[in-house]
């Protein structure tokens, strides 16, 4: 069964706690925390996301799925380790070289957190094959990172199916996560190509009934 990681990027501050509570009742599988630093991407959500993640940690046992869209990766990894997220995902494009990718992934794992690596729509999936044996999660961005509410870029679907095939042929068990522009209309294609976890923001947060929307997204 596909899992849903709800992006809380666009949750309004006035009723944030109620929204987090409602999402738990609606059975989101994870809270997806979109950390942006104003450098790797234009927007800066750093303080808000840290305060949201800390609040969630106090009120819920559901796992945190932290997506770091930042340049100073190590600094942010250290900031999030004390919150014991289920996943910490870093961006391949934010690393200086492949050695740095390896070192940071190792560092996350050493702290007993599942490590994830993400690529932007323009990066070829083949570039990251060598990291897969050491990865728990591979996050395929289906929009350009930087903001919620964008349209899914159709060409990214093909990357997921290529990756799925590669994982199968090489007996690897990395989860595939897709992130950006996912909604009721395009969810089936993502299931068909083999995504395991779907990050969904606007489609859930802008809906009147979170539970119904999550059920609808999960339904086959």
Confirm if 119 and 92 have CB atoms less than 8 A apart: yes
- Count of residues engaged in binding ligand DX5, rule: CB under 6 A: 21
Q: Which of residues 26-55 bind Zn ion (CB under 5 A)?
A: 34
**Torsion angle of the four alpha carbons 51, 10, 56, 95, in this order, in degrees rounded to the nearest 10:** -70
Binds 180: which of Zn ion, ligand DX5, none (CB < 5-8 Å by kind) = ligand DX5
Single out the segment in contact with ligand DX5 by CB under 6 A; choices: 49-57, 86-94, 122-130, 175-183: 175-183
Q: Is 10 helix (H, G, I), strand (E, B) or coil?
A: coil
Distance of closest approach, residue 72 Cβ to Zn ion, in angstroms: 18
Residue span binding ligand DX5 (CB under 6 A) among the ranges 45-53, 99-107, 143-151, 188-196: 143-151
Q: Is residue 146 near ligand DX5 by the rule CB under 6 A?
A: yes
Q: Point out the catalytic residue in the list 22, 29, 34, 37.
A: 34
Our finding on whether 182 is near ligand DX5 (CB under 6 A) is yes
Residue closest to ligand DX5, measured at CB: 201
Smallest CA-to-CA distance from 119 within 148, 149, 90, 77 is with 90
Q: Could you confirm whether 78 is annotated as catalytic?
A: no
> Residue 175: is it exposed, middle or buried by C-beta count within 10 angstroms (0-12/13-18/19+)?
middle
Indicate whether 121 belongs to the interface with ligand DX5 (CB under 6 A): no
Element (H, E) at 98: helix 98-110
Separation CA 118–CA 179 (nearest Å): 10
Annotated catalytic sites, by residue? 34, 179
């Amino acid at each position: 069964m596909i899992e849903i990681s709800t992006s809380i990027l666009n949750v309004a501050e006035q009723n944030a706690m109620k929204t987090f509570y409602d999402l738990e009742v609606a059975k989101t599988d994870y809270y997806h925390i979109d950390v942006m630093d104003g450098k790797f991407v234009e927007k800066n959500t750093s303080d808000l996301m840290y305060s949201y993640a800390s609040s969630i940690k106090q009120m819920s046992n559901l796992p945190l799925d932290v997506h770091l869209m930042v340049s100073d990766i190590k600094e942010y990894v250290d900031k999030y380790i004390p919150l014991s997220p289920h996943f910490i995902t870093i961006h391949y494009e934010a690393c200086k070289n492949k050695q740095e990718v390896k070192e940071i992934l190792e560092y996350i794992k050493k702290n007993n957190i599942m490590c994830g690596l993400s690529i932007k729509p323009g990066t070829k999936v083949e570039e990251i094959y060598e990291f897969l044996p050491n990865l728990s999660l591979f996050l395929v961005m289906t929009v350009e990172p930087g903001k919620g509410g964008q349209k899914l870029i159709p060409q990214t679907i093909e990357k997921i199916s290529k990756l799925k095939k590669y994982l199968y042929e090489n007996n690897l068990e990395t989860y595939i996560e897709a992130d950006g522009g996912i909604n009721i209309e395009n969810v089936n294609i993502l299931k068909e190509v083999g995504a395991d976890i779907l990050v969904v923001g606007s489609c859930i947060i802008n809906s009147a009934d979170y539970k119904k929307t999550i059920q609808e997204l999960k339904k086959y």
